[in-house]
Structure 1
Amino acid sequence: MGFVTDKQTLDDLNILGRYKSNSIFSIFNQTITIGGGRLLENMFQQPLTHAEAINERSKIFSFFETLNVSLPFDKEEFEIVENYLRSPESKNKIVAGFNITKSKLLHFIAHDREYELLREGLEKTIPLFSKLKPLMKTIEKASINTPYYNKAKKIADFLSSKHFDLVMEQSVLPSFPLTFQNILKFDYIFRGLFHNEIEGLLKELYELDVYITVSDVSIKKDFSYAKAVDKKEEFIDIKGMYHPCLSGAVKNDVHICKKQNVFFLTGANMAGKSTLMKSFGVAVYLAHMGFPVAASDMTFSIHEGIYTSINVPDNLEKGYSHFYAEVLRVKHVAEEVATNKQLVVIFDELFKGTNVKDASDGTIAIVDAFSKRNGTFIISTHIMEAGEALRKTNNKLFFKYLPTIVKGNVPTYTYTLHEGITDDRQGMMIIQNEKILDIINGNIN
């Protein structure tokens, strides 16, 4: 079974979204090829659950960081080449020649565009293959002793095939547009004789596009690669963690292990609890993809999925209040946890939609129950009493908080984790600073 999650979690962490400028996907969505874009999206939708596969992929990304290479074409050029190569021709040389002759006649008699498109595609394809050959030779030579070597060698060997010698020679001659004889000759090589192999080559180029793109993003963003270890190790250790969409973000260290598998986080509203938990969830998700993460260093045991409850909406159509929607969310996650999967579970302020007493009692009961199950849990609250009660009775929890520093009557936030539980409560101070009561009472013109 693959890595499990759901739409609520993906929305909470803002993972997907081709057309969302602030999604995690959008950070990496810079591929040149359409096929590379599809492959990238597929990788985002299917995180890995085997340490060997994760580490192999991250090693390939890391290898491409050392190369500083780019694909020798742009998006528009490749689209023309891809459209040309996608339509196969007969492997029978006579039949293939007849088909091209027919399209040329139709072009001459009826101004049909098929022959011109074929010629244009071929004239873009020849120099592209010529530029790919030295690139793949460079990558092959550099990739010895890396997981990418076999693929690099396979592509380089194919491009060095004697059948392509004439193609490579043609690319250095000032002989475009191609003659009819050369079109017959070269088109047969690309769309007839080697069509199946070139279909495979296109898939390899999509993958190469993703490797180069992701490694470039990692360099620019100063990300790092996480190391995956076996599921039985049961820990996640992240140093210098921050949110990848924030510039100048404060970094924090988080270590959660089997001995203490519940991270109980307190802090006032606006102290940064939600951002820290989202940063953790995003790091876990990207790490299971083998992608670079926004952290200085990360080592983690394999988990089988992630579930969050950060922004739970009410459901007016079904008549659900915000509180009942929260309860149903907790129930759904509890059902998943009860299957004994090794999951990451993140809850931001349980039961916000009810009174403080019920929220506190519910938080204590749910957190205590979760601590007895497999998995890695982060639970936040601004109800310090719930933390104090759990600290007295449950040694599976460890407690950290995000502090608030009051300067004058203005709260400021460090966004840096501290040990313990905080009793920071600045809600009324913020209300007073915004002069809401003065506005209501008519004391402000």
Structure 2
Amino acid sequence: MVDYIDDWPEEISNGTVLVMVKFLDYALDTIGDNPSAVDAFMYRLLHSADYSMAKFSVKHFTDFFRGLKKIEIILSGVDMPSNFSKYIDRIHHLINSIEPFRQMANIGTDEVVPQHKSLYFAANVRGNYKTEVQELIEIYSRLDAWYSMALAVKKYNLHFPEFVESEHPFFEAKGLYHLLLHNPVPYHLQMSPEHNFLFLTGANMAGKSTLIKSVGSSVFLAHIGMGVPATEMKLTLFDGLISNINVVDNIAKGESFFFNEVQRIKNTVLKINDGKKWLVLIDELFKGTNVEDAMRCSLAVITGLVKVKTSLFILSTHLYEIGEELKDLPTIAFRHFETTVTEEALSFSYQLKEGISKDRLGYVILKREKVVEMLERL
């Protein structure tokens, strides 16, 4: 559909469909199935408000059918998947087999519709063919959604991924970036059963969360048939995506931040223990407890999760110390984002590199933002 964006009909808008839907349920006084010019004159005289409503609505119906016919013509000769082409075939059948639909589809943009024809169309779309009209509205809604997706692919220069068949989960992306960044630094990332766990470290603002969200959003987009923000991407079909990001406490339930972190991990373990392919994203594990406790809990979680070979995991953490205890686990890949500090100024390359980061920049940021100086003046 990307190749036909510029040819897409402009007749149909959200307002067009809204008017049609409202008219189908409008309490309109009865109109005959095939009113004559005299009938139309009398109806306009005796039911002026309803006549005005019918005439106004029929203009939108003619725009709708004209637009559907253009879509059908544009895509009729295109080689498409069966689940797509069946809708185009259905449009063709309904417009050409139902006389009022065929006539409305052939009415020109500025063509004046006679009074009796307006009432004829109004009566038929509400009475004899209401079900078919509703079906066509549903079909157009699907096509419009796909058109919007195609428009996004073209506007943001997205690329369609390649799905590979494999019993084991696989993900590889080149030139991957976060869609919301204006000047992103692209990543190259590969994950497989041999290295199914990415242990990600780096200072605050270095790019850990952005990488995790880039992977998650790209996999989601791939699974709904969209292009992805990457120059190349290969992946298996995943059965689900689990994110442990932005966990919060719940005052109403009396649940602490740490308790909810534990519950999210518990739910993750319950889900991935089914032999299906999962992509699991965990950002800053166990921030809700002290460092020593967080390290112990993190080690327990990581050494447990790596046993699951049917899933891929990305986990970011500030607790670089536990990396030493994980180095003997062959399926863990260690990556980091580095930060350069010069005269209390910070510089981030946002390049994904091998190894573990040991950067501790909290105090540097506090000092750079003049908070330390402000505190000393108190």
Give the match for residue 16 of structure 2. Answer: 77
In structure 2, C-alpha distance between the alignment counterparts of 1:195 and 1:112, rounded to whole Å: 23
For the pair 1:258 / 2:193, whether they are aligned, the reply is yes
| Letter of the 1:369 counterpart | G
Q: 2:278 touches 2:312 (CA, 8 Å); kept in 1?
A: yes
Aligned residues: 371
| Letter of the 2:354 counterpart | E
> 1:422 is matched with which residue: 345, 357, 376?
357
Q: 1:88 touches 1:195 (CA, 8 Å); kept in 2?
A: no
Give the match for residue 113 of structure 1. Answer: 49
Q: What percent identity do the matched residue pairs reach? A: 28
> 1:387 is matched with which residue: 307, 316, 323?
323
| Letter of the 1:154 counterpart | R
| Letter of the 2:214 counterpart | S
In structure 1, C-alpha distance between the alignment counterparts of 2:40 and 2:265, rounded to whole Å: 64
Q: 2:281 touches 2:313 (CA, 8 Å); kept in 1?
A: yes
In structure 2, C-alpha distance between the alignment counterparts of 1:338 and 1:290, rounded to whole Å: 27
Q: 2:163 touches 2:234 (CA, 8 Å); kept in 1?
A: yes
For the pair 1:159 / 2:95, whether they are aligned, the reply is yes
Q: 2:195 touches 2:332 (CA, 8 Å); kept in 1?
A: yes
Q: 1:84 touches 1:121 (CA, 8 Å); kept in 2?
A: yes
Give the match for residue 217 of structure 1. Answer: 152
Q: 1:330 to 1:104 in 2, by over 3 A?
A: farther
Q: 2:161 touches 2:233 (CA, 8 Å); kept in 1?
A: yes
Q: Displacement of 1:169 after TM fit?
A: 5.2
In structure 1, C-alpha distance between the alignment counterparts of 2:341 and 2:129, rounded to whole Å: 71
Give the match for residue 67 of structure 1. Answer: 4
Q: Displacement of 1:315 after TM fit?
A: 2.0
Q: 2:198 touches 2:332 (CA, 8 Å); kept in 1?
A: yes
Q: 1:441 to 1:124 in 2, by over 3 A?
A: closer
Query: How far does the alpha carbon of each residue in 1:255-277 deviate from its partner, in whole angstroms, 9 at most, with x for none?
Result: 11112210110111111111111
1:23-172 aligned at under 5 Å gives the runs 64-68=1-5, 69-73=7-11, 74-85=13-24, 96=33, 108-109=45-46, 113-141=49-77, 143-144=78-79, 146-147=81-82, 148-161=84-97, 163=99, 164-168=101-105, 170-171=107-108
Q: TM-score of the superposition, structure 2-length normalised?
A: 0.87
For the pair 1:335 / 2:274, whether they are aligned, the reply is no
Q: 2:168 touches 2:277 (CA, 8 Å); kept in 1?
A: no
In structure 2, C-alpha distance between the alignment counterparts of 1:420 and 1:140, rounded to whole Å: 54
> 1:243 is matched with which residue: 175, 178, 191?
178
In structure 2, C-alpha distance between the alignment counterparts of 1:173 and 1:265, rounded to whole Å: 62
1:181-196 aligned at under 5 Å gives the runs 182-196=117-131
Q: 1:149 to 1:323 in 2, by over 3 A?
A: closer
Instruction: Give unmatched runs, 5+ long, in structure 1.
Output: 1-63
Query: How far does the alpha carbon of each residue in 1:181-223 deviate from its partner, in whole angstroms, 9 at most, with x for none?
Result: x235434543444333332221111111111111111111111
Q: 1:367 to 1:414 in 2, by over 3 A?
A: same
Higher RCO, 1 vs 2 (CA within 8 Å, ≥6 residues apart)? 1
Q: 2:9 touches 2:70 (CA, 8 Å); kept in 1?
A: no
Give the match for residue 175 of structure 1. Answer: 112
Give the match for residue 231 of structure 2. Answer: 296
Give the match for residue 368 of structure 1. Answer: 303
| Letter of the 1:206 counterpart | S
Q: 1:172 to 1:395 in 2, by over 3 A?
A: closer
Q: 1:129 to 1:366 in 2, by over 3 A?
A: same
In structure 2, C-alpha distance between the alignment counterparts of 1:337 and 1:203, rounded to whole Å: 36
Q: 1:423 to 1:442 in 2, by over 3 A?
A: same
Instruction: Give unmatched runs, 5+ long, in structure 2.
Output: none
Q: 2:159 touches 2:232 (CA, 8 Å); kept in 1?
A: yes
- Which segment drifts farther, 320-329 or 372-381? 320-329
- Which segment drifts farther, 326-335 or 146-155? 146-155
| Letter of the 2:95 counterpart | L
Query: How far does the alpha carbon of each residue in 1:388-425 deviate from its partner, in whole angstroms, 9 at most, with x for none?
Result: 2101x211101110111123321211111001111122
> 1:354 is matched with which residue: 273, 289, 307?
289
Q: 1:88 to 1:260 in 2, by over 3 A?
A: farther
| Letter of the 2:342 counterpart | K
Q: Displacement of 1:233 after TM fit?
A: 3.4
Give the match for residue 278 of structure 1. Answer: 213
- Which segment drifts farther, 342-351 or 184-193? 184-193
- Which segment drifts farther, 342-351 or 313-322? 313-322
The RMSD of aligned alpha carbons is 2.9
Structure 2 SS opposite 1:198: helix
| Letter of the 1:271 counterpart | A
Q: 1:85 touches 1:191 (CA, 8 Å); kept in 2?
A: yes
In structure 2, C-alpha distance between the alignment counterparts of 1:239 and 1:85, rounded to whole Å: 50
Q: 1:259 to 1:103 in 2, by over 3 A?
A: farther
Q: 1:265 touches 1:401 (CA, 8 Å); kept in 2?
A: yes
Q: Displacement of 1:239 after TM fit?
A: 1.7
Q: 1:70 to 1:88 in 2, by over 3 A?
A: farther
Query: How far does the alpha carbon of each residue in 1:98-125 deviate from its partner, in whole angstroms, 9 at most, with x for none?
Result: 8xx999867634x562232122212332
> 1:398 is matched with which residue: 330, 333, 341?
333
